[in-house]
Amino acid sequence: MSTTAIATNIQEVLDQLGIKKMNEGASTGAQWINTKGEQIDSYSPVDGELIGSVKSATLEDYETIIATSQKAYKTWRTVPSPKRGEIVRQLGIKLREYKEPLGKLVSYEMGKSYQEGLGEVQEMIDICDFAVGLSRQLNGSTLHSERPVHRMYDQYHPLGTVGIISAFNFPVAVWAWNTALAWICGDVCVWKPSEKTPLTAIACQNITNEVFKENDVPEGVSNVLIGGADLGIAMANDKRVPLVSATGSTRMGKSVGEAVGKRLGKSLLELGGNNAVILTPSADLKIVLPGVVFGAVGTTGQRCTSTRRVIVHESIYDQVKDVLVKAYNQLKIGNPLDESNHVGPLIDADSVNTYLAAIEKVKAEGGKVLVEGKKLTGEGYESGCYVSPSIAEVENSYEIVQHETFAPLLYLIKYSGDVNNAIEIQNGVKQGLSSSIFTNNIRESEQFLSASGSDCGIANVNIGTSGAEIGGAFGGEKETGGGRESGSDAWKVYMRRQTNTINYSTELPLAQGIKFDF
């Protein structure tokens, strides 16, 4: 597809989603605020073209947004949860209507394949569906009191304003994971999206505004602030924001966690991953190949769940190596809106430079590069953001291997002995997000899933590390932050627990038999 054809097609998408050439960077839901911050220009990594610009929000705008959200919370928390769920249900329907244009904008602004862009919007739809059912099941527990004719129970109440800081690689889905649950819990949300993908955030707010306007939702339930790190810092230090959900690098997460912790607030951190696949001698290599290759090069290696390391038993190591090298040499790299391509661009030139530097670091530490990634130039690669993926033979102890390189750099690591040796290698990094094992040996799979097995928040058998279903809680341990989003009981982080005791007798028995004689 030519640059002219892409631009023409994208203009139709922008018109559908209400994106202008110049956009405001703050909204309370009812209106877009006339912001006066610095201009943010969004260039597509697909073709290097300017998509649109945003006047970023200032700290003054931040104060306006927070004050509006605080006022909205007083009304929103009184709306019955099933009623809030009904509004989220309508948002899911609206997202179905906008799935194609929003998915295309995600692909064009972020650089992931069109299929992945559509898949990200589908995740938004799925979390809305999940939240609708959950809105009738925010269950507490009935407890047994040690005192006669007393009743005890737990119940959950909303927290207030929830701050959301999201990353460029999933510019819309992570916001939806948080907002859909926070809204049905009775919270209001203030979203600071990545400055690298501001237009997808504006599109989401425009879509939400349509639904909220139709249902007379108070102004300030859905808010967006587009701008620099100063907005995130303000949010992390703001006592009026009881929960901050932050997705991004471990470095960023440590900064947010420290600031929120100092004020004794709550943080939900979804940070870096250094995810490994273990291949045991009994692994079915027919399913290994697509799992590993997609996990490593999908979204051009810019997923927190991307496969970074493949830990292979020595008995099948050479076979696996040969198959992967052959597969990498057949990858099609180019415009992600062309569904025949496997790999699109990195997000920007800085990411390209970081990737190339990592390859050189591998060499310097003694690694053997089997497929060397390069920056691609020429027709179709004018944006300067396209690279070819890499494979390298390494040791897990290398410094570069211990860190997450947010790019399509795959490490092959050989192990010998039993599966416990492979698990030790897998766990031997600071991150603990996603992991998987390919095996037909039930003892190996059960060992991998046991308390002495994978130390990650996600542990899969015979599927890859990349991606996760809405129904399960998503998140990881160690320097991944310990947060959980999406399914299972992740909703509880958006609420405060309250224990209630009711005495329905005519006496006041005290605990532990204590008595006062009056």
For residue 378, being part of any structural domain is answered with yes
Length reported for the chain: 518
In this predicted structure, the answer to whether residue 91 has a pLDDT above a threshold of 90 is yes
Q: Tell whether 514 is covered by a domain.
A: no
Look over the chain and give the mean of its residue pLDDT values, rounded to a whole number.
96
Q: What residue numbers bound the domain in which 365 lies?
A: 275-470
Average pLDDT of the residues in 303-309: 97
* pLDDT, tens only, 441-456: 999 999 999 999 999 9
Q: Could you give the 3-state DSSP secondary structure of residue 219?
A: coil
Task: Determine what percent of the chain is predicted with pLDDT higher than 90.
Answer: 95
Are 163 and 83 part of one and the same domain?
yes
Q: Tell me the two tokens of residue 455.
A: 């130390």
Give the pLDDT band (50/70/90) at residue 85.
very high
Nearest alpha-carbon partner for 486 in 476, 498, 496: 476
**263 and 382 together in one domain:** no
- Looking at residue 516, its pLDDT comes to 76
In a domain, 376, yes or no: yes
Residue 5 pLDDT: 63
Give the residue-averaged pLDDT of 383-410.
98
Taking 90 as the threshold, does the pLDDT of residue 517 lie above it?
A: no
* Whether 358 and 485 share a structural domain: no
Percent of the chain whose pLDDT exceeds 70: 98
Return phi, psi of residue 454, to 5°.
-60, 135
Distance from chain centroid for Cα 21: 28
> Averaged over 195-218, what is the pLDDT?
98
In a domain, 435, yes or no: yes
Instruction: Kindly state whether residue 104 falls inside one of the protein's structural domains.
Output: yes
Contacts of residue 315, defined as CB under 8 A and 6 or more positions apart, other chains included, come to 281
pLDDT digits (tens, 9 = 90+) for 355-379: 999 999 999 999 999 999 999 999 9
Global pTM reads 0.96
Query: How is residue 415 written in tokens?
Result: 């192990």
270 is catalytic: yes
Average pLDDT over residues 310-337: 97
219, 270, 404, 479: which is the annotated catalytic residue?
270
Question: The domain that contains 70 carries what CATH number?
Answer: 3.40.605.10
Burial pattern 309-343, b for ≥16 Cβ within 10 A else e, equals bbbbbeebbeebbebbeebbeeeebbbbbeeebbb
Read off the pLDDT of each residue in 101-110 and give the average, rounded to a whole number.
98
Closest residue by Cα to residue 370 from 425, 312, 316, 322: 322
pLDDT at 285: 94
> Higher-confidence residue: 53 or 467?
53
Q: In the structure, how many helices (H) and strands (E) does the chain have?
A: 15, 23
Structure token digits, residue 334: 């180019």
313 lies in the same domain as 430: yes
Same domain? For 302 and 226 the reply is no
Residues 245 and 292 in one domain: no
Catalytic, out of 304, 404, 456, 485: 304
Residue 509 predicted with pLDDT over 90: no
- Residue 99: pLDDT band by 50, 70, 90 thresholds? very high
At 258-269, the pLDDT tens digits run: 999 999 999 999
Task: For residues 322-330, give the mean pLDDT.
Answer: 97
pLDDT reported for residue 357: 98
264 and 402, same domain (yes or no) = no
Q: Which residues contact 6 (CB under 8 A, 6 or more apart)?
A: 46, 47, 49, 108, 335, 337
CB within 8 A of 378, min separation 6: which ones?
none
User: Which residue blocks in 434-487 are alpha helix, DSSP H?
Assistant: 442-449
Q: What CATH number has the domain bearing residue 456?
A: 3.40.309.10
101, 178: one domain: yes
Average pLDDT, stretch 52-66? Answer: 98
Contact 436, 294 (CB under 8 A): no
Least confident of 143-152, 282-291, 494-503, 508-517: 508-517
Average pLDDT for residues 319-331, to the nearest whole number? Answer: 97
Catalytic site includes residue 385: no
Do 242 and 311 lie in a common domain?
no
Does 366 lie in the same domain as 302?
yes
The verdict on 188 and 301 lying in the same domain is: no
The pLDDT value recorded for residue 8 is 63
Residue 3 has pLDDT above 60, yes or no: no
Q: How many CB atoms lie within 10 A of CB 256?
A: 25
At residue 17, the pLDDT reads 97
Is residue 440 one of the residues assigned to a domain? yes
Do 216 and 96 lie in one domain? The reply is: yes
**pLDDT, average across residues 153-175:** 98
| Number of domain units in the chain | 2
Average pLDDT over residues 387-396: 98
Determine the pLDDT at residue 512.
Answer: 73
Residue 249 CB: number of other CB atoms within 10 A? 16
- Is residue 2 over pLDDT 70? no
